[in-house]
Structure formats: structure tokens, C-alpha cells
Structure 1
């Protein structure tokens, strides 16, 4: 790999994804050994020419000699393009660049609900993205659609349940959002949408765990006991992850019991109506 020298990328040290790909840039030689730095370690001198708010939203690539900064997808294209110029050229094509920027922003603005981190109240410099309602709502919609499709396919594997439909699974996913919102109705919108984002990430996590057995069922016949065990383990892991997240974010503990209660109520309705 061709090393992009004298360039430093500022990353969110609390974001596992940010840590992974910035570390990969250094390990593969795309950046030198001093090519990455935690955002929270920037000093006052750096803040004079770095847009700190933008850098919290879009990962920044800093040239300390020229005192210039690239942000977001442009910084990533600069690093990758130094070793693979053709990727940078494709990435700068208008339609491709637009798509990359939107995708990057979607992930960046939602990264704290995709992979939450400990709330550090005493930290003065925080790499926390600006709360964006549009991207959060979009994330919730996408999570609902993915969850709906996976649960619809999964329901076909459970003969104990009445025949399902896309609309039933969609209603259950949306209903979970509405039900849990009731218990945070007095909270501000940011707190509510932060929780709902994390809750739907748990649903996506469960969907990913169910995918292997759904795919396997397309090629072979699976025993009912195996499917039930797999489904049960998935539910337990989701429960554990939900509790971990509300503890991490210092949200009310009762949100986990109510999350379980909704699923019990939904199962009762499915079996009896």
C-alpha cells in the first residue's frame, strides 16, 4: 500500500467501527503510524482550523502542515485513493459521490444507536454526532422493514403459529415502537428516538441471528425442535442486548420488562385471535 504521509484521521474512540477501519488504515500502511488520533484528544490550537462540530459528524482527515481538513467520505476517498486512484475517481463521479455521502451520513448520524457507548458526562470534548431527526426516522423505518421481512420468513418455520402475513409482522414491529413509546412519553424527543433507535437495532440483531436458519431451511428440512431452540436462544440474546443497552445509556430499567410484556401480549393475540 502507498502511505499517505503527514495526514492524521480523527476518529471516535468509542465507536468500534471507527476504531476498526482507522486501525486498518494504519496496519495496511495507508496511513503512517501516527496517522490516526482520537477526536477527544484534539487541542485548542487544532480547534482553530478544524470544524469540530463537523468533525464529530464526519470523520476528519487533517493535514497539520497545510492546516487543511477533509471531512466524511472525502477524507476516506483521499486515503483509499492514494493507494487505489481508480476508486477515488469512481467515488467522485456525481451520482456515486451523492450515494456515498448519503450512506456515510446515514451511518454516521446513527452510529450511537447502532453501537452505543458509555455516556461520559465529565468529558469536555465529545465525538458525538449532531442529533438528526430525518436520519433517525429513516433508520427506524429501515429497521422495521428488515425486521418485518425476516420475521415473516421465520414464521413459516413455526407450525405452532397461525399462518402469518407481511401486514401482521409489520403491525407487530410498528406496535412495539408505539407500545414502548408510551413509557417514555414524558421524555424529550431526542431521548425517545435514541431509545427507539437502540431498540430497533436489537431487532435487527435478532434478525441477523435468524437469517442462518432461514437460509438453511431453503436447502434442507430442519427439525421443529432445532428451530424452536434457535429461536429461543435468539430471544434470550436479544433480551440480554436490550438490557445492556438501556443500562449503558442510563435509561429506565423498566423498559426491558415492558419490551418483554409486549411480546407476550402479541403472542397471546396471535394464538387466540
Structure 2
């Protein structure tokens, strides 16, 4: 069964508080980078895989998308998304990424996934599914935790005064499941090398257009100087690929 850690009450409470306070790396690093890879959204049919609270769905509509379908495995996340959304052009579907099926004949101009695919065991199957629902020439834009982070997810090594000394890299070529702690124990993520993230797209009919390994935006570092350490290793990997026409 696909993992559904976001419906764990303790995990969900911690994650919701993190996002509400914007004390994570989403607003400082990932979302600005993701938005920079997007096409003009006006008139597009958009699919958001792992939509969470619906933040991107509402952003897309604000910037002119014709419609957005948001998909998430977490009932808690979708309940919050529906509460925050008052827009008939945004619909939410309760499903894992692996098992999502659009309505017959429905295709999309753009598929977006924000920090969700590293929870998916069968990445190749997800890529094939995205290819099937994209219109010819359509774009697939997604972010994941960077392979330098997922390879050996023990976090920063610190000295006796709690200063960050280095980020350890180990087991990079050993792809597969990693059991981590984030709010709770037993959060499962899947490590893949950068070449696997990219070559799986190429092997399934996509053309890679852009790769990004962003650091925090300047405004975020100015407001929170500790974020400067995020430039010492890339926290995220972002890719933009196009389905060949």
C-alpha cells in the first residue's frame, strides 16, 4: 500500500504548524524555484499530484489556469484544501499518485508535483502515468528532495556548540527505501540518484528542458540569516520536462 504519513495525527499537526508559520524551506527555496520553471498558466488545464493544502492549485488559478485537479492520498490534507478553496474550477481527488486515474478522455497541459515523488516507490510507473495524461507537448514540472539529502538522511553533523560542520554524503549509489524521522518515526522516502530522476524521464518519452538545484532566495536569507547554510548543499532538485508531440 502507498504510504499515507500525512494522515498520522502527530505528523499532520507538526506539518500544518510548519507550513502555517512558513518556517520550512518551501517558501524560502522550493516554491520560488518551482514557479520559475512554470509556463504562462493562462488557459491551461493543470494537474497537481500531491496537492497538499491546495496552495499551488489556488496559485495556478490566480495566474489564469482554466482549471486545476489536485490529487492527494491524505484525507486530512484534502479536508484542509477544500476548506481553503472557494473556486469551482479547482477539484480535489482522494488518491495516491500511483493509483490516480483521471476521468475518461481528460488530459492536461501541465502536470506539477511539489515534494511528493520521493514518497513514491515506483517512480517509473508514475512517470508513465504522467505521460499518459499529458497532452502532446505538455509539461511535467516537479520538485523532490535532493539526492544528496536522501542518500544518507541523518541531517547536519554538528559540533559541541551546535554549529553545523558538514552534511554527510554516503550510500549515494544505493537506491531504495530510507526510513527517516520527521515529526514521527517511520517516514518512508525513496532515494534515487540524479541520473535516475533524469534518465527515467528520457526513457519514457520526455525531453528534459531544465534542471534546478536552488538555494534560498535573498529575501528569505535577509529575514532568516540561518538559511544561508542551505547554500552549502542543495536541499531540492527540480526538473522540467516536455512530452514530445
Q: Provide the TM-score with structure 1 as the length reference.
A: 0.28
Q: Provide the TM-score with structure 2 as the length reference.
A: 0.30
Higher relative contact order (CA 8 A, sep 6+): 2
Structure number with larger C-alpha Rg: 1
Q: Which has the higher helix share?
A: 1
Q: Which has the higher strand share?
A: 2
